[in-house]
Amino acid sequence: MSAATGGSFLFPVRTISRSKTIPVLVTTARDSIQNPPFLITLNPLVESCTQSPIDPFLWTITDKLKWMGISFNSSYNARFRLVEDGVDCEVNAPAGLHLRSSWRARNAMGGCEVTETVAVQGFFLLMPFVLHNLRASHAQLLEAMATALQKPGTDRRKFSVQSPPVSQENISWRETLVFIFGLIPIPLSSTLYLPPAFKHYILFITVFFFVVLALKKLARRARDPYGDFHLVLNRRPDHDGLAAQDTEWLNMGYWKNTNIFPEACEALALRLIAAGNCVPGGHVLDVGHACGDSLLLHLRHPSVPRPASLTGITSLMQHHYRSAQRISMAQRKEDASPAIYLYPGDAVFRPDCRPRGHPLDPSSNRPKFTSILALDCAYHFDTRKTFLEESYARLEKGGSVALADLCLSMQSGSVMSAARRWLLATALSIRTANILTKDEYVKMVKDVGFAECQVEDITQDVFPGFRQFLRSRGGMWKIMEQYGIGAWVRSDGRFILVSAKKIVPEACSNTL
C-alpha cells in the first residue's frame, strides 16, 4: 500500500493505493469491477445502495460508520465511469469530503493485478478518521473481491441491487389473505367432528386451491422467464473458452444464411430495423432489448442509420444494467453518439409506474419517436394492443412501428380451444390475450389507428434453424425445443415481421 499527499492546509489531499494479484482472467476481474453493485456490496461498511432510476452509473450509498463507539449512517452519491481497463468513481460525501478512486485490472504474473487508487480530499481534522476507515474497509474489500472472483460459478450479475421496483414478484396482501384462509380448513377438519368423507372433501378442496394458486404464480413468473442463461448460446463454434464474448443476444434468430446463433439473432434484428424505417437523425425506441445488442447496432452497425436519440425499455434490471454498461463502453469508441436513454421497466406505461420518465408516458415532453421496435418480445406485453396504442400516441407523424412477433395461422387459430391456448401461452410465456391469428393481428394494428400495415411471414427462416440449433445443444435446450417452440410449431404457430405507420390525415394533423 502506498500513500501520497497534496491539497491545501485546511483541505489536504491524501492518496492511497492498494493492489492484489488474483489468479483469474483479466476479463473476469475487469468485467466485475466495471459492475458497480459488485464493488459496492463488497465494501464491509456499506449498509444499502440505490441505483438512480435514470442514470445506471449513479448510485446513492449508505455506509454504517462508528466513531468513539457511536454508530451512525452516512449517505453519499457515487458516480461510476467505465474506462478500458477498469472503472473510475467519484464520491461527494457529507462534510465536504471528496473521493476519486480508480480501479484497474491488468495482466500480471499468476493472474490479474487489481489496483485501487483513491485520492481523498477533506477537512484536515476529519482526515485521520476517514483514512482509517478507508484503509481498513478497502483492505477487506480487496480480500473479499479475491474470494468472490475465485469462487466457482461466481457471476458478476448475481450481486443484489436495490433498484426501482421492476418486474418484482412480490406477494400481495390479497395473496397473503387468500393463503391464510386457504389454511383454515385443515385445523378445522381435524378439530371439529366431521364425517370422514367430508374431511376428505375439505382436504381435496384445500389441495386444489393451493395447486391453482401455484399454477397462477408459475404462469405469472413465466411471462418474463429470462435471465442470463442465454449467454452460453452466444458462444461461437470457434470460441476457445477464454476470450470475452462480444454478443449477448436472446432472440430466435433469422437463419436464412447462417447456422450460428449470434449471426442469426443479428440478422433478425437487422430485418426488424429495416422494417421499422429507421432514418438518420431519427428518434428510436427499442423495447425488450435484453442485454442491449440491438441497441448497439444503432451505434455502430454500418448498415444502420445513426439516430439522434436512442431509447430503450427492458423489464429485467440485470438486462437494463448490462445494456447500460455495454453502451457506455461502446460510446467511448464511437466519434459521434446519439443521446441515450435507458429505462428499466415494463413496456406498457401505467400512470403509477416507477421510476418516472417512462418513454411511452403520453405526457412526456421528450421528442416523439420516429421508429419503435419490438424484437421478439411483444407477445409478453400486457397487452400488445395497449403497447401499440401507447406507441401510436408517442410516434411522430409518419413514424413507424415494427415488431418481430408470433401469431397463429388462420386454420389453427379458428379451431383452438381456450384450454389449449392457455397451455400454449404458459409453455411459451405468452399472454393469452396476445395469441392472435394473422388477420386478427392486422385488424388490431389497424384498429389502433396505424396505416400501411405489412406482415411478412418468416416462419421458415426462424423456427427450423432455431430448433435445429437448440437440438444440437442437447440437455435443457432440447426440452425447450420440444415443448416450447415445438409446441408452438405443432399448433401451426407463425413468426412474423409486422410494420405499420402513423399517417395522420390532413384534417387532424394539427391536433396530434
Ligand X SMILES: C[S@@+](CC[C@H](N)C(=O)[O-])C[C@H]1O[C@@H](n2cnc3c(N)ncnc32)[C@H](O)[C@@H]1O
Nearer to ligand X, 63 or 346 (CB): 346
Regarding 163 and contact with ligand X (CB under 6 A), the answer is no
Residue among 247 and 437 whose Cβ is closer to ligand X? 247
What is the Cα–Cα distance from 107 to 27, expressed in whole angstroms?
9
Point out the residue whose Cβ comes nearest to ligand X. Answer: 288
When binding is defined by CB under 6 A, the residue of 97, 233, 250, 402 that contacts ligand X is 250
Nearest residue (CB) to ligand X, 80 versus 469: 469
Among 249-257, 299-307, 471-479, 491-499, the segment contacting ligand X (CB under 6 A): 249-257
Contact track, ligand X, 380-419, x by CB under 6 A: xx--------------------------------------
d(Cα 339, Cα 369) in Å, to the nearest integer?
A: 13
CA distances 247 to 9, 255, 284, 364, 403, Å, are 51, 17, 21, 32, 21
Cell numbers describing residue 121: 480530499
Which residue lies nearer to ligand X by CB, 312 or 413? 312
Q: CB of residue 120 vs ligand X: minimum separation in angstroms?
A: 40
In the complex, the smallest distance separating the C-beta of residue 89 from ligand X, rounded to whole angstroms, is: 28
Question: 156 or 322: whose CB is closer to ligand X?
Answer: 322
Name the residue with cell 432510476: 53
Minimum gap (Å) between residue 247 Cβ and ligand X: 9
Q: Is 137 in contact with 28 (CB distance < 8 Å)?
A: no
Least Å distance, CB 111 to ligand X, is: 32
Answer for the pair 316, 229: CB distance below 8 angstroms, yes or no.
Answer: no
Q: Looking at residue 154, what DSSP letter applies?
A: -
Helix residue spans in 72-172 (DSSP H): 127-150
Between 347 and 376, how does the x/- string for binding to ligand X read (CB under 6 A)? x---------------------------xx
CB-based contacts of 284: which residues, under 8 Å, 6+ apart? Answer: 276, 278, 298, 307, 309, 310, 311, 369, 370, 371, 372, 373
Residue 251 in contact with ligand X, rule: CB under 6 A: yes
What gap in Å lies between CA 450 and CA 446, rounded to an integer?
Answer: 5
Select 105 or 295, whichever has its Cβ closest to ligand X. Answer: 295
Interface mask toward ligand X for 112-151; x: CB under 6 A: ----------------------------------------
Question: Cα 193–199–205 angle (5° rounding)?
Answer: 140
Q: Tell me the C-alpha distance between 69 and 31, whole Å.
A: 38
Q: Are strands 111-121 and 12-22 parallel, antiparallel or unpaired?
A: antiparallel
Query: Residues 291, 326: contact at Cβ < 8 Å?
Result: yes
- Based on CB atoms, which residue is closest to ligand X, 66 or 221? 221
* Interface of this chain with ligand X, residues 278 to 317, rule: CB under 6 A: 287-290, 293-294, 313-316
Q: How far apart are CA 469 and CA 463, in angstroms?
A: 10
Residue with Cβ nearer ligand X (316 or 448)? 316
The count of C-alpha atoms lying within 13 angstroms of the C-alpha of 73, restricted to the half-sphere facing its C-beta, is 9
Binding site for ligand X (CB under 6 A): 224, 226, 249-251, 265, 269, 287-290, 293-294, 313-316, 319, 346-347, 375-377, 380-381
